[in-house]
């Protein structure tokens, strides 16, 4: 009747958990949420999408009690996996009050932090909090590279020190690197450095988004097509994750789109409920309506977003010869074109890269010269 109870083989448990997640999707229950506690940060990373906007736009971050109410409402909506992110979460003096409230509401917590503010005492508090995961960015294999990209002296040493403090307390942490033109050649050493610190996982990302103030400045740090191609080809079978999309087995038009706004949601520092931190289509403000009201009675633009569940639901994708290789981001499309349903140049570029990699793997084809322009490396400000 209860069956295997709580103990079952991992594969069986994973399958059952997926079935329950599908049930959540059918009932539009957001199992995942990202909560952006602040845009403030003690670093100034060159590639970060986050700009501190509360002063420039005259907006005020949610206060402690407002956040705890938002967390209560997220729990009531059904959110299980909650990520607390920033900015830098530890710059908020009330971070611990918010985090402990989240823990008491039985969220599975993931913390995104740059790690530089993690001292012995902070690590002890994290051990008491016992989040499911703590994720920190490692931007370079050397102090020089990391600190130049973080635009802060001593950041590399402090982040690695944080990794040691977390490991000493048996706290699960993830190190991750956004590949940039400035750190691409350090990738192998980065991986050795990260895994040598005892992280649960090391993740590599290739995506760099425009800033939330519309600035395209971070994009100048994206690696070029040649480097991407090299990375993807070398990553096949070897890297922790292969970020290039593999051709789908079934009809491409049935491939699922991102579930932002249906299976997941986000709240920004000022209380706006969003489908995702990258997709600026607000449901409304938590200061004015409850999350449940906004979730169950969303604006038309969210209804349209929810009605598109597969690539075949988007005319731009249905007609595209790269549909097999694409993993579009509605947020990037919205930022670039003003319409989330549109195709954006980055999605197309990455899908084209996926096709080239697939051809290379199939018949040894090289990257066409036209897709491999030479670009000088831009200097990074100190």
Partner 1 sequence: MDCSNSRYAHHPDVAWRLVQDEALLVDPRTGSIFPLNPVAARLWVLLGDTLPVSEIVRSLFQEFDSSRETIEADVSAFIANALAARLLVEQPGGSRSSGGESS
Least gap, CB of 82 to partner 1 (angstroms): 9
CB of 108 to partner 1, least distance (A): 4
CA terminus-to-terminus distance, the chain: 64
Per CB under 8 A, 81 contacts partner 1: yes
Options 4-12, 83-91, 296-304, 363-371: segment touching partner 1 (CB under 8 A): 4-12
Burial class of residue 54 (count of CB atoms within 10 Å of its CB; 0-12, 13-18, 19+): middle
51 backbone dihedrals φ, ψ, rounded to 5°: -115, 145
Residue 136 Cβ vs partner 1, minimum distance, rounded to whole Å: 17
Q: Which is nearer to partner 1, 49 or 107 (CB)?
A: 107
Determine, following the binding rule CB under 8 A, whether residue 1 of this chain makes contact with partner 1. yes
Angular region, 28: left φ>0, alpha ψ -120 to 50, beta rest: left
Q: Does 132 bind partner 1 (CB under 8 A)?
A: yes
> Of 61, 36, 35, 199, which Cα lies nearest the Cα of 133?
199
Q: Which stretch binds partner 1 (CB under 8 A): 5-13, 111-119, 141-149, 314-322?
A: 5-13
Which residue from 86, 87, 115, 131 is in contact with partner 1, where contact means CB under 8 A?
131
| Distance (Å, whole) CA 273 – CA 280 | 9
**Chain position carrying tokens 């409850």:** 290
Question: 282 with 271: CB under 8 angstroms?
Answer: no
By CB under 8 A, name the one of 35, 43, 79, 204 that touches partner 1: 79
Which of 42, 52, 53, 78 binds partner 1 (CB under 8 A)? It is: 78
Residues 97-126 that bind partner 1 (CB under 8 A): 103, 106-109
Q: Which is nearer to partner 1, 24 or 372 (CB)?
A: 24
Nearest approach, Cβ of 158 to partner 1 (angstroms)? 24
How many other CB atoms are there within 10 angstroms of residue 52's CB atom? 16
Neighbours of 112 (CB within 10 A): 21
Q: Which helix (H) or strand (E) holds 60?
A: none
CB of 156 to partner 1, least distance (A): 27
Residue 40 in contact with partner 1, rule: CB under 8 A: no
What radius of gyration do the chain's Cα atoms show?
Answer: 21
Instruction: Choose which of 31, 34, 223, 302 interacts with partner 1 (CB under 8 A).
Output: 31
* Minimum CB–partner distance for residue 109 and partner 1 (Å): 7
CB of 364 to partner 1, least distance (A): 39
Q: How many CB atoms lie within 10 A of CB 315?
A: 11
9-28: which residues touch partner 1 (CB under 8 A)?
A: 10, 13-14, 16-17, 19-21, 23-24, 27
The answer to whether 174 touches 205, Cβ cutoff 8 Å, is no
Measured CA to CA, the distance from residue 311 to residue 327 in angstroms comes to: 9
With residue 127 as reference, give the H or E element that holds it. helix 120-129
Q: Which residues contact 318 (CB under 8 A, 6 or more apart)?
A: 253, 311, 312
Coil, helix or strand for 201?
A: strand
Shortest spacing between CB 3 and partner 1, in angstroms: 6
- 42 interacts with partner 1 by CB under 8 A: no
Q: How far is the CB of 36 from partner 1 (least distance, A)?
A: 20
For 89, the 3-state DSSP assignment is: helix
Element (H, E) at 369: none
Instruction: Rule CB under 8 A: say whether 287 interacts with partner 1.
Output: no
233 Cβ contact list (under 8 Å, min separation 6): 357, 360, 361
Q: Please choose, out of 128-136, 224-232, 250-258, 346-354, the segment that lies near partner 1 by the rule CB under 8 A.
A: 128-136
Residue 34 found at the interface with partner 1 (CB under 8 A): no
Residues 163-202 close enough to bind partner 1 by CB under 8 A = 172, 200
Residue 292 interacting with partner 1 (CB under 8 A): no
Is residue 226 within the footprint of partner 1 (CB under 8 A)?
A: no
Longest dimension (CA), the chain: 65
Per CB under 8 A, 84 contacts partner 1: no
Q: Which residues bind partner 1 (CB under 8 A)?
A: 1-3, 5-7, 10, 13-14, 16-17, 19-21, 23-24, 27, 29, 31, 75, 78-81, 103, 106-109, 130-133, 172, 200
């Amino acid at each position: 009747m209860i069956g295997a109870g709580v103990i079952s083989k991992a594969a069986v448990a994973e399958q059952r958990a997926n079935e329950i997640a599908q049930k959540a999707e059918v009932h539009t229950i957001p199992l995942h949420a990202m909560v952006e506690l602040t845009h403030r940060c003690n670093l100034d990373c060159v590639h970060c999408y986050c700009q501190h906007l509360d002063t420039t736009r005259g907006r005020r971050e949610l206060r402690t009690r407002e956040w705890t109410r938002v967390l209560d409402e997220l729990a009531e909506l059904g959110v299980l996996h909650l990520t607390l992110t920033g900015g830098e979460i530890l710059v908020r003096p009330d971070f611990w009050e918010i985090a402990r409230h989240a823990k008491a509401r039985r969220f599975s917590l993931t913390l995104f932090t740059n790690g530089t503010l993690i001292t012995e005492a902070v690590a002890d508090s994290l051990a008491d909090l016992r989040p499911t995961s703590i994720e920190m960015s490692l931007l370079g294999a050397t102090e020089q590279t990391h600190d130049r990209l973080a635009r802060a002296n001593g950041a590399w040493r402090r982040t690695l020190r944080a990794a040691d403090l977390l490991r000493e307390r048996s706290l699960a942490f993830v190190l991750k690197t956004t590949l940039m033109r400035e750190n691409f050649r350090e990738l192998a050493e980065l991986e050795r450095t990260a895994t040598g610190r005892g992280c649960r996982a090391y993740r590599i990302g290739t995506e760099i988004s425009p800033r939330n103030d519309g600035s395209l400045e971070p994009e100048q740090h994206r690696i070029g097509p040649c480097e991407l191609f090299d990375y993807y080809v070398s990553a096949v079978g070897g890297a922790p994750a292969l970020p290039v999309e593999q051709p789908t087995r079934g009809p491409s038009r049935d491939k699922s789109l991102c579930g932002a706004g249906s299976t997941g949601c986000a709240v920004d520092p000022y209380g706006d409920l969003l489908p995702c931190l990258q997709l600026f289509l607000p449901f409304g403000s938590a200061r004015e309506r409850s999350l449940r009201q906004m979730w169950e009675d969303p604006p038309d633009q969210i209804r349209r977003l929810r009605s598109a569940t597969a690539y075949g639901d988007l005319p731009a994708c249905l007609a595209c010869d790269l549909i097999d290789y694409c993993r579009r981001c509605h947020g990037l499309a919205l930022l670039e074109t003003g319409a989330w349903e549109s195709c954006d140049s980055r999605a197309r570029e990455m899908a084209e890269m996926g096709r080239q990699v697939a051809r290379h793997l199939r018949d040894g084809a090289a990257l066409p010269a036209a897709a491999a322009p030479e670009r000088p490396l831009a200097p990074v400000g100190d």
